[in-house]
A and B are shown apart, each in its own frame.
Chain A
Amino acid sequence: MNLLARYAECIFWMARYMERAENLARILDVHETFARDTRGMTNWFSIVQLNADEKDFFSRHDRPTAEAVVHYYMFDTQHTNSLVSMLRMARENARVLRPWISTEMWTQINVFHNKLVEMNGKDVALSNLSKVCTWIKEECQTHTGITEGTFYRDQGWYFYQLGKYIERADQTTRLLDIKYHTLLPSPVVVGSTLDMSQWTTVLRSAAGYHAFRRVYPRGMSPTTVAGFMMFNEGFPRSVVMCVRQIDGLLTRLKSRYTLRNGSEAMEKVDELLGALLTRPIEEVIQLGLHEYLDGVQAQLCGITTEIGRAFFGQDTVPMTQSQSQ
């Protein structure tokens, strides 16, 4: 069956917004739980940096206090990177997709969104932030589970997965980038207790702490953490893991549904995967992690553009008789 280009795009973005919301909830949660220290202020600000929201944030707030940052990221409807805005976008896409997705997928997103909107910002004090974030994270996971269990496996499923993995890879690079940047102000503090607890925080926000421990039972260094999050082949949020998924999805999508377009997107994925697999983490750090991650983000962006061009109707060519057979 044909898939409307516009639907494919909506599916892709619905998945991205849900993934993005889950990541943000994780980050807020982990900050509340593990980041109570003298650098609290810096830490809350790092969320603003991580999302590159400095300009927008300071246009409305003087200082990045915990309350201001939490409100800004949870309930600020004017702010496109807030949870409430992400959920609104996920729901808008789901609304368009209602004829295509399962009723259960729609209902869960609809109820989730409505509950979040009804929740008064004032009700969420720092003391129960963790509880609320856990709820959001679990709702996102419920969405993932319902999708896995009910979403019909045709083209749409591939676009859903593509959106999810591209977003996840992007989120991991952002988390790593900002943490690496803020956590290594000078070489002196490296290896201090504070430093390692911060790295624990990073791993926990990506639900990778236990897995990391299993792989590196005896030590934790910024290099091993960064390497784990970038290149580990078994960690579901590592960049390599996500890009391998994207690669496989595009290949199968094209072959199974004999889609004519998409070669450019596949080339870009190959390029990125190649780049990720050639350098060990030590070399990456030596050459500059920030620049490296910037490059990865740009490449993910390029892949999204090519997917849009190939499948979302930016370039439409009439289907001829020979091609449709």
Chain B
Amino acid sequence: MSVPEGKATDLLTNYDPGLYYDELFGGRDYPAEHSALIRQRLAGLNFGDLLRRSQDAERELYNLGITFLVYSNKDAVDRILPFDIIPRVISAKEWAHLEAGITQRVTALNLFLHDIYHDQKILKDGVIPADLVLGNGCFRPQMVGLDVPFDTYIHIMGTDLVRDREGTFRVLEDNGRVPSGVSYVVENRHMMQRVFPDLMQDIGIRPVDNYGHKLLDAMMEIAPQDVADPQVVLLSPGSYNSAYFEHIFLAREMGVPLVEGRDLVVENDRVYMKTTNGLARVDSIYRRIDDAFLDPKAFNPDSMLGVPGIMEAYRKGNVALANAVGTGVADDKAIYCYVPRMIKYYLDQEAIIPNVDTRICREADALKYTLDNLDKLVVKPVGEAGGYGITIGPRASKEELADCRAKLLADPSNYISQPVVDLSVCPTVTDDGIDPRHVDLRPFAITGKNTWVLPGGLTRVALKKGTLIVNSSQGGGSKDTWVLQDGVLQDGSQEGSAS
């Protein structure tokens, strides 16, 4: 595994991040000291060795079945999320800032959800337009007046962050329904430990493998209080869901059954699972099914994935659900714009991590600005996920811009616009050597009684040269994310090169 003596070529000599902020080198004027040793070790490697390790890692991922399903021409194909073996490194100081910012944001969003399902003060005070909340398809009237343990609605939160040219982290999107990707965070680390132990040695990287414990703790905390030893389960739409691997991973890490809707029944407003010995009580459910499919009696009556009657059991307090029903109204792309004001309103604080400057096209000024600057802006539909329906102005053709303009005019309230964020880059293994590629970051926060943020998160990387869209459904890959421990020497003075 070690680097052959004397064959070392300086792999990073010709590396040029251009005008972008670089995750390994830092900004132009402020070289990142915390990653000096890692750069030094990488520079000493030879490219053939790096490629070989890359291929080993990808084969291993495939063999382990760390895959997601892609549907094409009615065939389901197992695909791995392409994995890049050059890590993204975050200093202890940067992380402390992010951790505080994410905790603040989750806290505010939970306060917001509690408010809109109770007194609706924030609407009455005119901070957020009421119709934006009450007219939102994800607002669930069934939740009005219902109390949930610790007033926590978003137990599992994924916050999409990007870093602009100045190196400032900004929130691009909140994911408070069923955020996915955390399994890759943990599996990527395992993979790095297997293929790149020499790069990691003595760096002092904060571990990520206790996510399952933390999640289970939260699931136990929110279970009905009268149950001594709560039965937790993970509810999945089934093995044909594209994120099925993650469901497996989380059930395994928590040591709880992975159930499907057909395994559960509701009797007398209590939830049971079908076991080899008849029915057994279920107290706390980490559900990976959207609200709409959760209960055909309460929501979409055609859902085959859900459990008839579960909503009533939930309302009676006989079962806990994570995330709570109705959180979709908080992670809506339109509500997103108001989160900084929300933080101010509930916590009387400034947002620690700012938003990307966003315009809501339902507002006349914003629409006009957006239409006038279409070629400079990113236009996003508020209801879509997975990077679909996005128009990136500077890269769009005339036809695409015209199409976008027509859609905006037809239904302005379905769109927001943002300036193109010059996403930071990170050195990435490509066929042509080590090249900069754009990355984002999705940290995960778990909230039961308190909030805990997994140190790191999913770094997604746009593997296609020049592209900004990092979604796995659009050709993105991922990287291991290293959050460094405080106080560990990382300037390379401690030892020589990797061995």
* A73-132 interface with B by 8 A CB criterion: 92, 95-96, 98-99, 103, 106-107, 110-111, 114
Let me know if B146 is at the binding interface, CB within 8 A: no
Q: Determine if B470 is an interface residue (Cβ-Cβ < 8 Å).
A: no
Q: Measured between C-beta atoms, what is the minimum distance from A92 to chain B in Å?
A: 7
Q: Are A319 and B263 in contact (CB under 8 A)?
A: no
The complex places the Cα of A105 from the Cα of B263 at a distance, in Å, of 24
Which chain B positions have C-beta within 8 A of A316?
265, 274, 278-279
Q: A2-B273, A5-B274, A107-B65 are in contact. Are A317 and B239 (CB under 8 A)?
A: no
B420 proximity list for chain A (CB < 8 A): none
Docked-complex contact B267 and A318, CB < 8 angstroms? yes
Residue in chain B with minimal CB distance to A314: B274
Whether the Cβ atoms of A319 and B251 lie closer than 8 Å is no
Cα–Cα, bound, A52→B27 (Å): 71
Tell whether B259 is near chain A: CB-to-CB under 8 Å: yes
Inside 8 A of B280's CB, which chain A residues have their CB?
Answer: 2, 319, 324
* A3–B273 CA distance with the chains assembled, in angstroms: 10
Contact A110 to B65, CB < 8 A, known contacts A96-B239, A99-B248, A318-B267: yes
In the complex with contacts A2-B257, A95-B239, A111-B277 CB distance below 8 A: no
Q: Is the CB of A107 within 8 A of B64?
A: yes
- Candidates A5, A107, A323; contact of B276 at CB < 8 Å: A5
B277 touches A260 (CB 8 A): yes
CB < 8 Å neighbour of B252 from A99, A107, A319:
A99
B260 at the interface (CB under 8 A from A): yes
Complex-state Cα separation, A318 to B267, whole angstroms:
9
Residue A313 interfacial (CB < 8 Å)? yes
* Closest partner residue, chain A, to B59 (CB atom): A111
For residue B258, CB closer than 8 A to chain A, the reply is yes
Complex Cα spacing A6 to B274, Å: 8
Whether B279 contacts A318 by the Cβ 8 Å rule is yes
Q: Are A3 and B258 in contact (CB under 8 A)?
A: no
Contact in complex: A259, B65 (CB < 8 Å): no
Query: Contacts of A312 on B, CB cut-off 8 Å?
Result: 276
Provide the residues of chain B in CB contact with A3, threshold 8 Å: 275-276
Answer whether residue A190 sits at the interface, using C-beta atoms and an 8 A cutoff. Answer: no
Q: Does A155 contact B (CB under 8 A)?
A: yes
- Interface positions, chain B 115-163, Cβ under 8 Å from A, are none
Known A96-B239, A103-B64: A319·B257 in contact at CB below 8 Å: no
A4 CA / B231 CA spacing, docked (Å): 13
Interface residues of A in 1-26 (CB under 8 A from B): 2-8
Determine the chain A residues whose CB is within 8 A of the CB of B262 once the complex forms.
6
Q: Among the listed A5, A107, A257, A260, which residue makes an inter-chain contact with B263, where contact means beta carbons less than 8 Å apart?
A: A5
Interface presence of B63 (CB below 8 A): yes
Bound CA–CA A231/B262 (angstroms): 42
Cβ of B272 < 8 Å from any Cβ of A?
yes
At the interface, yes or no: A160 with Cβ under 8 Å from chain B? no
Given A99, A258, A323, which contacts B257 in the complex, CB threshold below 8 Å? A99
Once the chains bind, are B277 and A6 in contact (CB under 8 Å)? no
On chain B, the residues within 8 Å of A318 by CB distance are: 267, 272, 278-279
Query: How close is A139's CB to chain B, nearest CB, in angstroms?
Result: 14
Q: Check A317/B248 contact, CB under 8 A, given A4-B259, A4-B273, A99-B257.
A: no
- Complex interface: chain B residues within 8 A of A5 (CB): 263, 274-276
Contacting residues, chain A, for B65 (C-beta < 8 A):
95, 98, 106-107, 110
Interface centre among A4, A8, A114 (most CB of B within 10 A): A4
Q: Is A311's CB within 8 Å of the partner chain B?
A: yes
At the interface, yes or no: A261 with Cβ under 8 Å from chain B?
yes
**Chain A residues whose C-beta falls within 8 Å of the C-beta of B278 in the assembled complex:** 260-261, 316-319, 323
Once bound together, how far apart are the Cα atoms of A291 and B262, in whole Å?
40
Give chain A nearest CB distance to B184 CB in angstroms. Answer: 16
Q: Is the CB of A317 within 8 A of B279?
A: yes
Residues of A within 8 A of B265 (CB): 316
- Within 8 Å by CB of A319, from B239, B259, B260, B277, lies B277
User: Please, what's the 1-or-0 string for B223-258, where 1 marks a CB less than 8 Å from any CB in chain A?
Assistant: 000000001000000010000100110011000011
Question: Cβ of B279 and Cβ of A4 under 8 Å apart?
Answer: no
Nearest chain A CB to B484's CB is how many angstroms away? 29
Give the B interface residue count (CB, 8 A). 28
Given A107-B63, A107-B64, A110-B65 in contact, is the A311-B276 Cβ separation under 8 Å? yes
In the assembled complex, the Cα of A110 lies from the Cα of B78 at a distance in Å of 11
Closest Cβ of chain A to B231, distance in Å, is: 8
* Cα distance A323–B277 in the bound complex, in angstroms: 10
| A261 with B252: CB separation less than 8 A | no
Interface string of B360-393 (1 = CB under 8 A from A): 0000000000000000000000000000000000
Shortest CB–CB separation between residue A321 and chain B, in angstroms? 11
Give 1 or 0 for each of A153-191: 1 = CB within 8 Å of chain B CB: 001000100000000000000000000000000000000
CB contacts under 8 Å to B, within A237-272, are: 257-261
Distance of B16 from chain A, by nearest CB (Å): 40
- The residue on A at minimum CB distance from B282 is A2
On whether the beta carbons of B248 and A98 are closer than 8 Å, the reply is yes
Given the complex, which residues of B lie within 8 Å of A311, measured CB to CB?
A: 276
A99 touches B251 (CB 8 A): yes
With a CB–CB cut-off of 8 A, which chain A residues contact B257? 2, 4, 7, 99
| A4 and B274 within 8 A (CB) | yes
CB-defined contacts of B263 to chain A, threshold 8 Å: 4-6
In the complex, the answer to whether A257 meets B277 with C-beta atoms within 8 Å is yes
B394 CB to closest chain A CB (Å) equals 42
* Chain A proximity mask over B431-454: 1 for CB below 8 Å, otherwise 0: 000000000000000000000000
Q: Chain B nearest CB: distance from A154 CB in Å?
A: 11
Q: Which among B272, B276, B277 has the highest number of chain A CB atoms within 10 Å?
A: B276
Q: Within 8 Å CB of B272, what residues of A? A: 318-319
- B308 CB, nearest partner CB in chain A, Å: 15
* B239 close to A2 (CB less than 8 A): no
| B:36-53 near A, CB below 8 Å | none
A163 vs B259: C-alpha distance when bound (angstroms): 22
The 8 Å CB contact of B274, one of A99, A107, A257, A313, is: A313
In the bound complex, what is the Cα–Cα distance between A106 and B78 (angstroms)? 15
Alpha-carbon distance A4/B244, docked complex (angstroms): 18
Identify the closest chain B residue to A156 (Cβ).
B276
Interface pair A8/B276, CB less than 8 Å apart: yes
Using a CB-CB cutoff of 8 Å, which residues 257-315 of chain B contact chain A?
Answer: 257-260, 262-263, 265, 267, 272-280
In the assembled complex, the Cα of A311 lies from the Cα of B277 at a distance in Å of 7
Q: Which residues on B sit within 8 Å (CB–CB) of A324?
A: 280
B391 to chain A, nearest CB (A): 38
A103 to B61, CA, bound (A): 12
Q: Measured between alpha carbons, how far is A316 from B257 in the docked complex, in Å?
A: 18
B277, A4: Cβ atoms closer than 8 Å: no
- Asked if residues B275 and A4 are in contact (CB atoms below 8 Å), the reply is yes
B279 near A6 (CB under 8 angstroms)?
no
Cα–Cα, bound, A155→B64 (Å)? 25
With a cutoff of 8 Å between Cβ atoms, the chain A residues found around residue B64 in the complex are 103, 107, 110
How far, in whole Å, are A69 and B162 apart by their CA atoms in the complex? 58
State A71–B263 Cα separation when bound (angstroms).
38
Can you give 25 contacting A-B residue pairs, CB < 8 Å? A2-B280, A4-B257, A6-B274, A7-B257, A8-B276, A92-B239, A95-B244, A98-B65, A103-B64, A107-B63, A110-B64, A257-B277, A259-B277, A260-B277, A260-B278, A261-B276, A261-B277, A261-B278, A312-B276, A313-B274, A316-B278, A318-B279, A319-B272, A319-B277, A319-B280
6 tightest A-B contacts by CB? A99-B251, A98-B248, A2-B275, A311-B276, A313-B274, A99-B258
